Amino acid sequence: MAGRGTDIKPSSESLQEGGLFVLGTGRHDSRRIDNQLRGRSGRQGDAGSSQFMLSLEDNLLRVFGGERISKMMDRLQIDEDEPIEHVFITKAIGNAQKKVEGYHFDIRKHVLQFDDVMEKQRSIIYSRRREILGDSVQELMLEMSSDVVDELFAQHCSEKYVDQWDASGFNQAFTSIFGKLPKENWHEQELDAEEFTEQFHRQVEDLYKEKLTYFHNELGQNLVVEQIAGGVNKGEDHTARFNSMVVDLERQILLKINDGLWKDHLLSMDHLREGISLVGYAQKKPLDEYKRQAFVMFSDLMARISREAVTLFYKIQVGPSPVRPIRETMPEQKMTMVHGETSDTKPMELKPTPIQKVRIGRNDPCPCGSGKKYKQCHGKTQAAEAAEEEDNS
């Protein structure tokens, strides 16, 4: 029974007899459902009563104390058909319902704790996406470039002394991402790690400005070609237009990388969630292990977003503008419309097409396809018809 029971309206005769009687054939795992059924019998102060009938084979009693009650009935030699009504049984069922409710509550709480991890990651990704769609796209690209430089230093230059650094590996990685290295023997300078990092941050800013200048020059050349082809005035200033085009390009790059890697990360997190319970065999808490591995995966995700977005931005090239070829103007042709015949036009005389007769030899195969010779097939019939016409004539 569901709902509030507003459609149950006992008549006056039934109220005089005791009102609505609710008979339950089992107890639910939740006490709230049983109380709803009880509430139907005495809605808005009406008279009524309720009674629940249980079996020792019900799931609720079988799991929580059903065998103990059945053994006690066998010891007291009580018949199976005899009903048992006692406060002890009611309290035992209520305690069983409390245990089941607590079990379901723990399950929901456990699921919520797992979802909180994904919710924190989702909020960070969505805040990053709002920054991309906002007005600070170029600042975000510079920040990602600085993060990539810090990551490269942490990978190749984490040792205490400069001579222990992997300078060649750093140079190769820096060139593969930013396109070129400002100085090959940078590690020979007498600077510490922080000063080297600040120096590369400034160099990355210079490379970023150089890339913006390259975009402006290429877009300007393409615009000049389009203007020449279209005959448009070339004296206008298109700086604002170029800036908006570059910002849109950076925004498209960041959105593509951010959304693509985030979808892959969601799939990886689903796989992690499915198999994280197996760490319980190693005496580890699945929730703590899930949080630890999720943090490692999310940190790698943010690093890959910055690295791939910066790499794509510094490697992208602007192609020439596709200019349509100019078509030569054809001279106008005068057209004269003629309705009917005039003195200058003469009707064409249609000549009948002569029919060419094909002569078939007497020993040639018959054209009907019978496989016989012509003189033994249709040739014999035509010879008979010709002889009959001669006799008639």
pTM for this entry:
0.61
> pLDDT tens, 130-172?
999 988 888 999 999 999 988 988 888 877 777 778 888 888 8
The pLDDT value given to residue 124: 94
Residue ranges in the chain whose pLDDT is less than 50: 326
Within this chain, domains 13-109 and 134-228+238-315 share the same CATH topology: no
pLDDT at 372: 81
Neighbours of 70 (CB within 10 A): 16
C-alpha to C-alpha distance for 153 and 53, rounded to whole angstroms: 74
Q: Phi/psi of residue 136, each to 5°?
A: -105, 45
Alpha carbon separation from 182 to 175, 186, 319 (Å, rounded): 9, 9, 25
pLDDT for res 90: 75
Average pLDDT, the chain: 79
CATH homologous superfamily of 13-109 = P-loop containing nucleotide triphosphate hydrolases (3.40.50.300)
Query: Can you give the pLDDT at residue 271?
Result: 93
Quote the CA–CA distance of 148 and 180 in Å, as a whole number: 15
Other Cβ atoms closer than 10 A to 379: 18
How is the chain split into domains, by residue range?
Answer: 13-109, 134-228+238-315
Side-chain half-sphere CA neighbours of 154 within 13 A: 7
For residue 46, CA distances in Å to 8, 49, 52, 159 come to 11, 10, 20, 83
CATH for 134-228+238-315 (2.30.110.10, 3.20.20.70, 1.10.3060.10, 3.40.640.10): 1.10.3060.10
* Token output for 86: 């006692």
